[in-house]
Every structure is written in structure tokens, then in C-alpha cells.
Amino acid sequence: MYRDRQTESQVTHVLLHHWWAAVDTALGIAHRETYTRRQLLQLLRGSDMRGWEAFDISCLDANPRDSETVGQLETAIDQYIGKLVISTSRDVLQARGESLRRRVQETGFHPATILLAVAIK
């Protein structure tokens, strides 16, 4: 997934991913934020793969405020907040999680567009 060129409901996914990465990083777990589409293409160009093609894949068909999806995301937010018990940045990250909870409820959620690359190595 990449972070730019997203609808508002897809930005929710990007922001959640960045928050999850921040929580994991605070706990000593390696987890990066997303790249831009351009950065991903630059990584492909710099690789030893050849004959590659890139495709953008997105799915905006579902209701962005689907109650089941919202409920699953709220559960995930709760789980990540629960992980913060041992973190020194608990308050800041917890506030960010609560803000994302409100965003999920108000703006909704769609999976962020991904870049699929097919290449020959």
C-alpha cells in the first residue's frame, strides 16, 4: 500500500497503519510507515528485477462505514492501545488511537490502494 493518491476513507487506512507502526516501534518492534507511490516505483527501478509492470489495485465498493468493519477496527484499536501498557509514550499514542477511532466512525474506512509489481528476477 502507498500513502498518497488515496480517498478520504482510504487515508483512514494509511493513518491507522502509521499509528500501528508507531505503537510497534515504541515497543521495539520494527514496523515502517507506508511509502509514497513514487518511492515504491523508485525501489523497483533500483532493483535487479527487469521487465516489470506495476498496477494500482483498489477496492472502493464496500460501504466505508460498514458496522462490521468499524467494529473490527475498533477492536484492533483497543488491542493496540492495550499493548501500550509498557510504553513511555503511552498517553500520546493512546490519544492518537482515540482520534483514529473517531475518524473510523466519522469518515469510514476503505483499504488503501496498493501497487502490485510483476517482474522477472
> What pTM does this model have?
0.92
The answer to whether the CB of 48 falls within 8 A of the CB of 121 is: yes
Sorting pLDDT into bands at 50, 70 and 90, what band is 121?
confident
Domain boundaries, the chain: 8-120
Write the pLDDT tens digit of every residue in 83-100: 998 778 899 999 999 999
pLDDT at residue 85, as a whole number: 84
